[in-house]
Structure 1
Amino acid sequence: MATVDPALSTPSDLNRNDTKSVAEALNIALADCYALYIKTKNFHWHVSGPHFRDYHLMLDDQATQILGVTDAIAERVRKTGNTTLRSIGDIGRRQQIADNDRDFVPPHEMLAELRDDNLKLVEALRDARERAEEAKDTATSSLADDWIDQAEERAWFLFEASRNS
């Protein structure tokens, strides 16, 4: 992570070295959120089959929820005096969730892949929460709890929706 330009410096009582570790983990989670958002929208746009309407609506709801978390993550990074993602290239360098560019993905594979990706996001968020706790950054830790719960719920819905596929 680059040094913060003094013009972007933010007042904080947290240790700068500790918050850099938290920011690095949050930026990975943020990159994963963007990758998961795009993949979820991709599958939303390209789902087909007898459960089209249900899957189409569920994936749109999930994409909206994922996108809603991105601003909160980025703003938390900035509140601790660090910098966040700057470009699509930056996302690509940090994301741990793989893209899916296949022309056709059967609906049951879409749901399984998104379930696994949400669980991978949970791992990234847990890492960020653990680093936040080590840095005594209780605000980030508390927010991460909510983000983890949301991702776990999405994974649960995807799992349940795929049981009869």
Structure 2
Amino acid sequence: MYVVKSPLPDADQKIVAEALQGALVDLVDLSLVAKQVHWNVIGPRFRTVHLQLDDVVATARQYSDTVAERTSALGVPPDARASTVAAQSGIDQVTDGWIKDAEAVEVLVHALSAVITRMRERIQATDKPDPVTQDIFIGLTADLEKHHWMFQAEHG
């Protein structure tokens, strides 16, 4: 079987692979949480929150693909299986059923905050071993922080 070889030294590859895997899990879960809330949001601000949630889903899905492909390029198979995401995500679970618009906003503020905190740790961890991966994390974090700001502004 052919195996993809990393251009990074083994020690650096391990650090970067862990950061990428963690980011992948968080992004997949963020997209699922945002979609779950999107389908169940109710209230007077339904449309605004509903559309904002789709923006978060689009960002999370776009970057999850970028992160997974970067992981593969570095010789590590990415793992976004449901069991892996459930076990490793840093995002709290969302309750089932209808969710009031104000609560939906709060859920997203907390979910985004959790992911951003972990992404900032990954930015630091990848500084020396792989500036290319760090650059992906910086762009991703900037986009997540924009969503975080917009949901906070919606919260009032």
TM normalised by structure 1 equals: 0.87
Match of 1:51 in 2: 45
* Contact 1:35 1:98 (8 Å CA) reproduced: no
Tell me the distance in 1 between the aligned counterparts of 2:122 and 2:73: 15
Q: Does residue 1:27 correspond to 2:25, yes or no?
A: no
Deviation sequence 1:78-103 (CA, Å, 0-9, x none):
12222211511111221111221332
Name 1:3's counterpart in structure 2: none
| CA contact 2:29–2:89 (8 Å) conserved in 1 | yes
Alpha carbons 2:28, 2:80 under 8 Å: kept: no
Q: Give the 4+ runs in structure 1 shifted more than 3 A.
A: none
1:28 partner SS:
helix
Match of 1:142 in 2: 135
* Mapping 1:39-118, distance limit 5 Å: 39-118=33-112
Distance 2:53 2:126 in 1: 30
Asked whether the 8 Å contact 1:10–1:78 carries over to 2, the reply is no
Q: Which residue of 2 aligns with 1:8?
A: 3
- Work out the CA distance in 2 between the residues paired with 1:91 and 1:39: 12
Contact 1:44 1:60 (C-alpha < 8 Å) held by counterparts: yes
- Mapped partners of 1:125, 1:70: distance in 2: 13
What is the aligned partner in structure 1 of residue 154 from structure 2?
161
Give me the whole-angstrom Cα distance separating, in 1, the residues matched to 2:149 and 2:135.
22
- RMSD of the alignment, in Å? 1.5
1:40 and 1:114 in contact (8 A); partners too: yes
Deviates more, 1:110-119 or 1:96-105: 96-105
Amino acid in structure 2 at the alignment position of 1:148: T
Match of 2:118 among 118, 121, 124: 124
CA positional deviation for 1:11? 4.2
Unaligned segments of structure 1, at least 5 residues: 1-5
| CA distance in structure 1 between the aligned counterparts of 2:99 and 2:43, rounded to whole angstroms | 11
Whether contact under 8 Å (2:120, 2:141) holds in the other structure is yes
Q: Give unpaired runs (5+ residues) of structure 2.
A: none
In structure 1, C-alpha distance between the alignment counterparts of 2:61 and 2:80, rounded to whole Å: 16
Aligned residue for 1:8, secondary structure, equals coil
